[in-house]
Amino acid sequence: MNSRTFSWLSFLHVVFTIKFLILLQSLDASSSSAEFYKTCGNTFSCGDTISGIGYPFRRQTDPIYCGHPNLALTCDGRSNATTIDIMSMTYRVLRIDQSTQTMRIVREDLMEGPCPQEMVNTTLDYSLFDYAGSYANFTFLYGCPASNFPGLSLTPCGRSGYSGVYVFPGTQGPGKCNASVIVPVLLGVEGGGGAENATRTTLNQVVQQGFEVRWKIDGKSCSDCTESKGRCGYDVGTNQTSCFCPDAPYVADTCTMLRGMRLNAIQFLT
């Protein structure tokens, strides 16, 4: 055996080792992660106002890795309403704009009028959302003394038994009343005259216009992923956006690099 044959043999050995490693890696990853690409990444519609929505949102019924865990939309087939839960409070989703990363939401418990079943302030999950656009806080006061209160007096809340319901611009505590609930409203809403001019009759309309929030998720990881022909998903291990690819190892930062590596390996083997 001359040295040339020997180097050929070691070369073949190296080639087969690499081939074997690639095979192992793909077998290891393929068990479940091969399904990620197929399962996630499709845009969806929800209700009759939300359409063409994708990552970081997912439907409540989608696997958890298809979107951010706290951006799951519930699509009600009967009412056509889309809702999302934020800090244990259910909000109706009126609009989603993925290009500006904003959505318009309104408290579900205020859709019928200013008498929530539970007295809870509106509180965002600030790790995920910020207020967007110009808004103002309104304070609803319940069970206020029957004296001449300065706020706008509203119809008493039948169910909860609260009479003396008032609304004030701004944020305030209950004072002499039993409870106060803070509700953000959009300023300068088209048509309605905006929150500045709210009257008893337009107040519900103003509240039901909702308010805008921006989700604080870096959109670049996902756009890099889709540009590399991957589909975006969420890695619940690292709490970050990850990229699902059609080929092994199926989960990566982007799919381009992998494509390149695979191509090199194939060229090397042939």
Ligand X SMILES: *[C@@H]1O[C@H](CO)[C@@H](O)[C@H](O)[C@H]1NC(C)=O
Q: CB nearer to ligand X: give 167 or 255.
A: 167
Pairing assessment for the beta strands 165-169 and 152-154 based on DSSP bridges: antiparallel
155 binds ligand X (CB under 6 A): no
Does an H or E element contain 252, and which? strand 251-252
- With CB under 6 A as the contact rule, the residue among 173, 227, 235, 269 that binds ligand X is 173
174 binds ligand X (CB under 6 A): yes
Beta carbons of 242 and 265 less than 8 angstroms apart: no
Q: CB nearer to ligand X: give 109 or 248.
A: 109
Question: CA nearest 151: which of 176, 185, 117, 184?
Answer: 176
Question: CA nearest 172: which of 196, 124, 198, 139?
Answer: 139
Question: CA nearest 207: which of 265, 150, 152, 263?
Answer: 152
134 binds ligand X (CB under 6 A): no
Give the nearest residue (CB) to ligand X. 173
The residue written with tokens 């990229």 in the block is: 243
178 binds ligand X (CB under 6 A): yes
Q: What are phi and psi of 164, to 5 degrees?
A: 60, 60
Q: Residue 239 CB, nearest distance to ligand X (Å)? A: 4
- With CB under 6 A as the contact rule, the residue among 42, 51, 60, 171 that binds ligand X is 171
The residue written with tokens 């087939």 in the block is: 77
182 binds ligand X (CB under 6 A): yes
Binding residues among 228-247 for ligand X as defined by CB under 6 A: 238-239
Residues 6 or more apart whose CB falls under 8 angstroms from that of 226 comprise 232
Q: Residue 32 CB, nearest distance to ligand X (Å)? A: 20
194 binds ligand X (CB under 6 A): yes
* 94, 203, 221, 270 from 150: Cα distances, Å: 32, 16, 51, 85
180 binds ligand X (CB under 6 A): yes
- Interface with ligand X by CB under 6 A: which range of 10-18, 117-125, 147-155, 208-216? 117-125
- With CB under 6 A as the contact rule, the residue among 111, 120, 132, 265 that binds ligand X is 120
Q: Residue 245 CB, nearest distance to ligand X (Å)? A: 22
193 binds ligand X (CB under 6 A): yes
- With CB under 6 A as the contact rule, the residue among 119, 132, 152, 265 that binds ligand X is 119
Binding residues among 202-231 for ligand X as defined by CB under 6 A: none
Beta carbons of 164 and 142 less than 8 angstroms apart: yes
* 108, 142, 144, 155 from 117: Cα distances, Å: 11, 12, 17, 15
45 binds ligand X (CB under 6 A): no
Strands (DSSP E) contained in 177-250 are 179-186, 211-215, 231-235, 240-244
Q: CB nearer to ligand X: give 56 or 143.
A: 143
CA distance 270 to 208: 65
Which residues of this protein are in contact with ligand X, per CB under 6 A? 48, 79-80, 119-121, 136-137, 143, 161-162, 171, 173-174, 178-182, 188, 193-194, 196-197, 238-239
